[in-house]
């Protein structure tokens, strides 16, 4: 038996080691899934009322621990502290939404058919494996686990290696909130062990958030075993600035949408598609405002942008910028790795961005904005949809009805912002199309992703 591999975590603002963890063996991980199945057999019989009480406890615990949780995020992945607190608050709200609406979303439905009546019931299916990324290290986990546990399933998590401290803190919170042991488990495992767990006879579904390449492999593995998946695979979201947009407001919202979470957000604003008649005004104001943002220590309350989460991610982003410049993009701001400790990258603005460049075709997961000039509103919509991704997007226009019509009939994404920028909301569905994946989370939809929609037909004798 080989010694288990040690994983070190590092503070991205300084590069200093924070802690070390031991990876679980494949055998231990398999046993954890078996324990999850045993917990499921009891958990599926608990009442919605019991589940709701526990989720309200969990929400209260998160709020009590908000400072510790936010500071752990900042240490492990570099999130600006204020944004870490917002993430914890959002997770508490998700727990409360789940507690309040779970019973009605999952309640039996009654229909009649010729010869009788029918009951449609939403029954849990078993153990759900979650494979989640580091960028929202609490939210990503609560997002899928709360809805599935409310539905009566149990969950095991494979978290990203750079946020193993958060993985442990989450399991501790579930247990401290009073959930029975093994209803939720964080497994400290690597990608190949997670892939093997997809084959485990007790794993009934897999939910994955991350890159489209890895996601498609996970989906393929699960599909070969006829196991359901939900995929949230990143994006290259386009925000359209139409000729009748309020430019000052558009600039403010677009910058917020680009730099939130240090630019490391799947549903961030990434491509800015600007109609020719307002292009110069937008670009000048956008660059001027970007110059005012403070990049630095994420624990400092004046910081707008912290470091990137890992050195390899920063270097990869820089390669994408360089390749875009080699292919004809223009650098209007940033683009140089600073000579300092930590994994910082400056706010970067690229212009003359066109197909064939990483800045146009791929996801730039960091504080780089791609500006694309188009003739008119029609071309703006064409460019927005000219992407293999389809998670979110945005439209800025003072004609709200026109923007809604475009969003509804033309925009090929799962979510569209009009005249603003919003992250996830507990009561609204979240998810994408095309290479951004499939399935929905939040808004009650997540509670019905991994359930057996079971039909019970009751024959009734006709009156003699």
Return the beta strands (E) in 243-392 as ranges.
Answer: 271-275, 330-333, 348-351, 368-374
Phi and psi based region of residue 434 (left: phi greater than 0; alpha: psi -120 to 50; beta: remaining)? left
DSSP 8-state assignment for residue 295: B
Q: Which residue has the tokens 């969003």?
A: 407
Q: Is 433 helix (H, G, I), strand (E, B) or coil?
A: coil
* Catalytic residue check, 95: no
Catalytic entry in 91, 95, 254, 266: 266
Torsion on CA atoms 316, 320, 322, 326, rounded to nearest 10? 150
Catalytic entry in 76, 232, 264, 441: 232
- Give the separation between CA 297 and CA 288, rounded to whole angstroms: 22
- Give the separation between CA 124 and CA 451, rounded to whole angstroms: 5
In the chain, count of helices (H) and strands (E)?
A: 14, 18
Phi, psi of 10 (to 5 degrees): -130, 145
Instruction: Return the bridge partners of 349, or none.
Output: 333, 369
Cα 53 to Cα 64, 66, 127, 133, 404: the distances in Å are: 17, 20, 22, 28, 39
DSSP 8-state assignment for residue 432: -
- Give the separation between CA 269 and CA 351, rounded to whole angstroms: 15
* Catalytic residue check, 232: yes
Q: Write out the DSSP string of 57-103.
A: HHHHHHHHTHHHHHHHHHHHH---HHHHHHHHHHHHHHHHHHHHHHH
Among 211, 227, 428, 363, which residue's Cα sits nearest to residue 219? 227
Phi and psi based region of residue 426 (left: phi greater than 0; alpha: psi -120 to 50; beta: remaining)? alpha
Mode of pairing for the β-strands spanning 348-351 and 368-374: parallel
Other beta carbons within 10 angstroms of residue 32's beta carbon come to 20
> What residues are labeled active site?
232, 266
């Amino acid at each position: 038996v080989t010694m288990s591999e040690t994983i070190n975590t590092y503070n991205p603002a300084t590069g200093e080691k924070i802690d070390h963890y031991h990876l679980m063996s494949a055998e231990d991980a398999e046993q954890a899934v078996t324990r999850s199945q045993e917990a499921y057999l009891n958990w599926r019989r608990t009442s919605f009322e019991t589940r709701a009480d526990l989720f309200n406890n969990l929400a209260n615990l998160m709020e009590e621990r908000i400072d510790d949780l936010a500071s752990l995020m900042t240490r492990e992945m570099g999130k600006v502290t204020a944004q870490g607190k917002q993430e914890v608050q959002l997770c508490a709200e998700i727990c409360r939404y789940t507690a309040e609406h779970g019973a009605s979303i999952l309640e039996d439905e009654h229909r009649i058919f010729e010869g009788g009546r029918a009951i449609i019931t939403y029954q849990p299916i078993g153990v759900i494996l979650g494979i989640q990324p580091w960028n929202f290290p609490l939210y990503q986990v609560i997002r899928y686990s709360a809805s599935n546990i409310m539905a009566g399933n149990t969950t095991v998590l494979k978290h990203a290696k750079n946020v193993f401290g958060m993985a442990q803190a989450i399991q501790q919170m579930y247990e401290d909130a009073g959930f029975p042991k093994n209803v939720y488990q964080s497994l400290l495992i690597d990608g190949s062990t997670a892939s093997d767990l997809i084959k485990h006879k007790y794993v009934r579904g897999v939910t994955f958030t991350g890159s489209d390449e890895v996601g498609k492999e996970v989906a393929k593995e699960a599909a070969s075993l006829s196991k359901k998946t939900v995929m949230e695979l990143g994006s290259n979201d386009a925000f359209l600035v139409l000729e009748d947009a309020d430019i000052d407001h558009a600039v403010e919202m677009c910058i917020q949408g680009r730099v939130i979470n240090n630019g490391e957000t799947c549903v961030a604003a990434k491509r800015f598609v600007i109609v020719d008649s307002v292009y110069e005004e937008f670009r000048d104001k956008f660059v001027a405002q970007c110059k005012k943002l403070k990049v630095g220590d994420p624990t400092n309350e004046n910081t707008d942008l912290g470091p990137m989460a890992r050195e390899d991610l920063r270097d990869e982003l820089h390669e994408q910028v360089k390749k875009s410049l080699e292919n004809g993009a223009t650098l209007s701001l940033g683009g140089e790795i600073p000579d300092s400790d930590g994994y910082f990258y400056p706010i970067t603005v690229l212009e003359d961005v066109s197909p064939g460049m990483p800045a146009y075709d791929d996801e730039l997961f960091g504080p780089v904005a791609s500006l694309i000039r188009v003739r008119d509103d029609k071309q703006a919509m064409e460019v927005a949809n000219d992407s293999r991704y389809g998670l979110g997007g945005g439209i800025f226009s003072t004609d709200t009805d026109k923007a809604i019509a475009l969003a509804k009939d033309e925009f090929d994404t799962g979510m569209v912002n009009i005249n603003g920028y919003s992250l996830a909301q507990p009561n609204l569905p979240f998810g994408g199309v095309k290479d951004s994946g499939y399935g929905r989370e939040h808004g009650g939809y997540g509670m019905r992703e991994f359930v057996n929609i079971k039909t019970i037909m009751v024959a009734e004798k006709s009156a003699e």
